Amino acid sequence: MPSPLLKRSLVDQALEQLRERIARGQWAVGERLPTEPELALELGISRNTVREAVRVLAFTGLIEVRQGDGSYLRGRADPSDALKAMSGCTLDQARETRRIIEVEAIMLACARRTPEDLAALRAALARSGKHYHSDLDSYIACDMVFHQRLVDAARNPMLSQLYRYFSQVVADSLRLTLHPQQREQATFDLHIDMVDAVEARDSAAAARLCRELIDSGADH
C-alpha cells in the first residue's frame, strides 16, 4: 500500500495532467469527460487516483459530477488559481480590490435591496457591534457576515460568490490593520451610516461612505 505522501503526490500529478488537458481545450465546456477507467488508461495511473483527482476538480468547480451519468466540464478557469493569487496579495492590492467589489455592490444594493436585505443587514450589524470593542476575531467573523450581506443585497449571484472567495483576504487584512484592543467608534459608525444610505437608496452617499471605510485602514 502506498504511503499517504506517495498517494498525494500521484493525485497531484493526475491533477496537473487533467488541468493541462482542460486548459488546452481537449474537452469542450459542457462535454462529458471520459470515464474513470478511460482516464486511468490515458494517464497511466490507477482508477483510485483518477477518482481522487476528479473529486478535487469537482470541489473547485471545474467539473460537475452527475451521479450515474459521468463527469462534465463546467469551465476552463480553475478557481484555485484565483485563490492562490488572492492569498499572496498585498494590503494595498486587497484594498484596491475591495473598492472595486464593495463600492459597486453597495451602489447596486441601493437600487435593488429588499426589506429582507435591510433586516439582515441590521441584524448582522447589531451582532458585530457587540464585539467591536472586545474580541478581535469574534468581531472580524461577524463583520465578514455583515459585508457579505451587503454584497448579497446587490442581487448579483456572481458578485456574491466572488466576494465569498475574497472575504478571507479581507479578514486576513483586518487582523493586520485593526488594533487588538482600542478601535475608533467613528469607524464602526460608518457601517451604520452605510446601511442608512442603502435604506434611503442614496447611492452617492453609500459609495462615498464605503470608500471612506475601506481607505480608513483602521477597519474595514
- The amino acid at residue 1 is M
CA distances from 165 to 79, 96, 114, 145, 161 (A): 9, 16, 24, 13, 7
Tens of pLDDT along 68-108? 899 999 887 766 666 667 777 888 888 999 999 999 999 99
Task: Report domain extents, the chain.
Answer: 4-76, 81-215
Tens of pLDDT along 203-217? 999 999 999 999 986
Question: Within 13 Å, how many C-alpha atoms sit on residue 119's CB side?
Answer: 3
pLDDT band (50, 70, 90) for residue 182: confident
Tens of pLDDT along 37-63? 999 999 998 998 899 889 888 877 788
- Grid cell locating 65: 459530477
Between 157-177 and 79-87, two packed helices, what is the crossing angle to 10 degrees? 20
pLDDT band (50, 70, 90) for residue 1: very low
CA angle 83, 87, 88 (to 5 degrees): 120
* Residue 57, helix vs strand vs coil: helix
Share of the chain above pLDDT 90, in %: 51
State in words which class domain 81-215 has: mainly alpha
Where are the extended beta strands (E) located within the chain? 63-66, 70-73
Q: Which range (10-14, 34-38, 155-159) has the least confidence?
A: 10-14
pTM for the whole thing?
Answer: 0.65
CA–CA gap between residue 129 and residue 163 (Å, rounded): 22
* Residue 71, helix vs strand vs coil: strand
Classify 78 in phi/psi space as left (phi over 0), alpha (psi -120 to 50) or beta. beta
User: Cβ of 152: how many Cβ atoms within 10 Å?
Assistant: 20
Architecture of domain 4-76: Orthogonal Bundle (1.10)
Are residues 162 and 189 in contact, defined by beta-carbon separation less than 8 angstroms?
no
